[in-house]
Structure 1
Amino acid sequence: MYEPNVVGDWQEYDEHAGLRVRVHRLEAAEPPRGRDDAAVGLTYFSVRVTIENRSASHFSVQLEDGQIDVRVGPDGEGAFIDWRSSQFIEGFDVYPLRRATAVVYAAGTEAALSQVDVQVHLRVDEEWTERRLWAGGIGLAEGPVAAVAAGACQGSVAHQVIAFLKDQKDQAEPGGA
C-alpha cells in the first residue's frame, strides 16, 4: 500500500538521480500581503516545499500554482490557497548542492488543520515527475487531534501519522521520552 510521507521527510526522485524534495515547516502564519477577503473566518497557515540537488549536474525546476494541492480535515476538503501571497519556483536552475524553496499560504477551518495533506507535482527539465504526498497537521486545537486519534483505525495511515507526530512532539518537549 502506498503511504504518504510525513511532513518534514525528504523524498528522492528515481527518475532524476540526486534530486529530492520535501514539504516542511507546516505552521500557523499570516500571509505577508494581508488576508484575502475570501478567507474570512478561516485560519491561515504556511507550508514550504524545498527542492534540493545532490547530483553533479543542474536541473531546471518548476513548481507553480496548480502544481501544489493542499487538502485539510478528515474528508480532504480543498484548502483556500492565497496565490498572491505565495511564492513559487518558476523555471529555476537548481545547481549541485543548492536548494530552491516555494512558500504556500493557505487557509482552512481551525478544526480541520489537525489533518493537512500536501501533494506536489514537480516539473523537472520539461518533464513531469510522479505526484508525491505529505501528511501532517497543525496543533492549533488539541481537541480535534484527540478525537481523530480516538476514531482512527489502528492500521490506518491517519493513525500512523498522528502517532508519529505525537511521538515527535513528546521527544521535542523537555523531559519527553
Structure 2
Amino acid sequence: MYEPNVVGDWQEYDEHSGLRVRVHRLLAQEPPRGRDDAAEGMTYFSLRVTVENRGTRRFGIHIEDGQMDVRIGPDGESAFLDWRNSQFIEGYDVYPLRRVTAVLFAAGPEAALSHVDVQIQLRVDEEWTDRRVWAGGLGLPDDGEGGAPSTGAVREGLACQVSNFLRDQAEEGTS
C-alpha cells in the first residue's frame, strides 16, 4: 500500500534520475501582500515546495495552480488557496546540484489546521510525474533541512496514524 510522505520528507522520482521534491516549512504565517477578503475569519499558513536536482542533467520544472492541492482537517476539506500571494515555479531549468522553491499561502479554520495534506504533481520537461502526497499539520515540526529527523517520535506517530487511517479506509472499501 502506498503511504504518504510526512511534511519535511524528500520524495525521489524514479523516472527522473536525481530529481527529488519535498513539502516543508508548514507555518502559521500571514501573506506578504495582505489577506484576501475571501479568507475572512480563517487562519493563514504557508508551505514550501522544493525541487532539488542531484542528477547529472538539467530538468525543466513547472509547478503552478492546479498542480497543488491542499486539504485540511480530518475530513480532508479543501483549504482556501491564495494564488495572489503564492509564488510558483513556471518553466524553470534546475541544473545539477541546484534547488528551486515555490511558496504557497493558504487559509482555513484554525481547528482544522492540525491535519494538512498536500498533493503535488510536477511537470518535468513537459512530462507529468505521478502525484505525491505529504501529510502534516500546524504545530507538528518538520525535520528542517533534510538531516536526521529530530522529531522522530512525532513524525513516526503521524506517519503511523496516516497509514492506519488509509489501511482502515481500504479495508472498509473492500468489505
- Matched length: 146
Unmatched runs of 5 consecutive residues or more in structure 2:
141-159, 166-175
- For residues 32-111 of structure 1, the aligned pairs below 5 Å read 32-111=32-111
Give the % identical residues. Answer: 75
- Which residue number in structure 2 is paired with residue 175 of structure 1? none
Question: Does the residue aligned with 2:85 lie in a helix, a strand or coil?
Answer: coil
- Which residue number in structure 2 is paired with residue 143 of structure 1? none
Residue identity matched to 1:87? Q
Indicate how the Cα distance of structure 1 residues 159 and 34 shifts in structure 2: closer, same or farther if over 3 A, else same. Answer: farther
Question: Does the residue aligned with 1:111 lie in a helix, a strand or coil?
Answer: helix
Indicate how the Cα distance of structure 1 residues 76 and 133 shifts in structure 2: closer, same or farther if over 3 A, else same. Answer: same
Indicate how the Cα distance of structure 1 residues 32 and 158 shifts in structure 2: closer, same or farther if over 3 A, else same. Answer: farther
What TM-score do you get using the length of structure 2 for normalisation? 0.81
Alignment deviations for residues 66-123 of structure 1 (CA, whole Å, 9 cap, x no partner): 1010000000000000000000000000000000000000000000000000000000
RMSD: 1.5
- Which residue number in structure 2 is paired with residue 157 of structure 1? 162
- Which residue number in structure 1 is paired with residue 154 of structure 2? none
What TM-score do you get using the length of structure 1 for normalisation? 0.80
- Answer whether contact 2:3 2:163 (CA < 8 A) is retained: no
Unmatched runs of 5 consecutive residues or more in structure 1:
141-154, 161-177
State how far apart, in whole Å, the 2-side matches of 1:56 and 1:104 are: 29
- Which residue number in structure 2 is paired with residue 127 of structure 1? 127
Find runs of 4+ consecutive structure 1 residues off by over 6 angstroms.
Answer: none
